[in-house]
């Protein structure tokens, strides 16, 4: 093989690589945010809830579900869902978590569940701020709020926890940063400088001083288990964990999980 042919092959391979990098860079948000993906079997709500629309600062009305506890209490679970699917996919969690003496607000992000707008890191933070303000308008303050973050929602939960002192934090399948997650899925790409939405949770978790409960499946193929372990290691006390032997992304809401959830809620009462 002569030198000129080798050079041509190298040039072609470089151009192909640059093309792949450019394509992923342009399409990265459509690869990260998947509102049209429906991975779960929807469950009907078994509790009486109201559908509410929470307006963010950009004028998007975020379709949300609010369960007001009949005992008129302040404690409220604020739920941030992950990167795929509508809020209906999380109704099974709302049903399970309604056993506790709390209100529940499950919001959907801009661009999800029929909402207008396009999701971005800063956009999701703005949506979360809008939800917190909506609760404040109901006379529910951050000290009354338990934040629940699922997958991508864990990063939003920790961003809020770096600004507010909450009653507690629950993280399901947390990741250290979107940079680390992207390196796991795209090891051949220079993701450190490509990523627009970095979600640096590994720095923010150290700024949280609320009691925290971290759940992760050991066989998680979307967010590697080591990330959940690392986030738990970095978290401040008091903290709890549930690491389960499952090969799925989100944990199963079984008796074991609910027993651990009982323990966490008991911790919050101390």
Domain ranges of the chain: 1-32, 45-268
Give me 24's structure tokens: 């992923």
pLDDT in the model for residue 40:
67
pLDDT in the model for residue 41:
66
What radius of gyration do the chain's Cα atoms show? Answer: 20
- Per-residue pLDDT averaged across 220-247, rounded? 95
Output DSSP code: residue 3: H
- Per-residue pLDDT averaged across 62-85, rounded? 94
Taking each helix axis from N to C end, the angle separating 121-137 and 152-161, rounded to the nearest 10 degrees, works out to 60
Assign 270 a pLDDT band (cuts: 50, 70, 90): confident
Q: Which of 72-76, 116-120, 172-176 has the lowest mean pLDDT?
A: 72-76
pLDDT in the model for residue 10:
82
Q: Of residues 102 and 15, which shows the higher confidence score?
A: 102
pLDDT in the model for residue 12:
85
The total of other beta-carbon atoms located within 10 Å of residue 138's CB is 14
Q: pLDDT (tens digit, 9 = 90+) per residue, 155-202?
A: 999 999 999 999 999 999 999 999 999 999 889 889 888 899 999 999
Checking if the pLDDT of 151 tops 90, the result is: yes
Give me 188's structure tokens: 């051949």
In sequence order, the β-bridge partners of residue 213 are: 170, 240
Give me 160's structure tokens: 């809020």
Assign 1 a pLDDT band (cuts: 50, 70, 90): low
Q: Which of 9-13, 44-48, 103-107 has the lowest mean pLDDT?
A: 9-13
Q: Determine phi and psi for 256, rounding to 5 degrees.
A: -60, -45
| Domain 45-268 homologous superfamily, CATH | Alpha/Beta hydrolase fold, catalytic domain (3.40.50.1820)
Q: What is the pTM of this model?
A: 0.94
């Amino acid at each position: 093989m002569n030198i000129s042919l080798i050079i041509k092959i190298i040039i072609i391979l470089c151009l192909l690589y640059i093309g792949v990098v450019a394509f992923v860079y342009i399409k990265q948000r459509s690869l990260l945010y998947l509102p049209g993906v429906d991975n779960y079997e929807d469950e009907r709500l078994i509790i009486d809830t109201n559908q509410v629309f929470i307006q963010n600062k950009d004028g998007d009305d975020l379709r949300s579900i609010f369960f007001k506890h009949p005992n008129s209490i302040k404690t409220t679970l604020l739920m941030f869902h992950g990167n795929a699917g509508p809020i209906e996919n999380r109704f099974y969690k709302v049903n399970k978590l309604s056993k506790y003496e709390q209100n529940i607000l499950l919001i959907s992000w801009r661009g999800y569940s029929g909402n207008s707008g396009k999701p971005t890191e800063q956009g999701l933070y703005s949506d979360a701020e809008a939800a917190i303000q909506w609760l404040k308008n109901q006379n529910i303050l951050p000290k009354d709020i338990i934040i629940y973050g699922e997958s991508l929602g864990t990063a939003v939960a920790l961003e809020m926890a770096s600004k507010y002192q909450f009653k507690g934090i629950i993280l399901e399948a947390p990741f250290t940063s979107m940079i680390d997650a992207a390196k796991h899925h795209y090891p051949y790409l220079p993701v450190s400088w490509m990523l627009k939405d970095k979600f640096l949770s590994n720095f923010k978790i150290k700024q949280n001083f609320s009691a925290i409960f971290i759940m992760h499946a050991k066989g998680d193929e979307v967010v590697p288990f080591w990330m959940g372990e690392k986030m738990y290691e970095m978290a401040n006390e008091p903290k709890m964990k549930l690491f389960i032997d499952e090969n799925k992304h989100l944990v199963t809401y079984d008796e074991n999980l609910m027993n651990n959830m009982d323990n966490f809620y008991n911790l919050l009462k101390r």
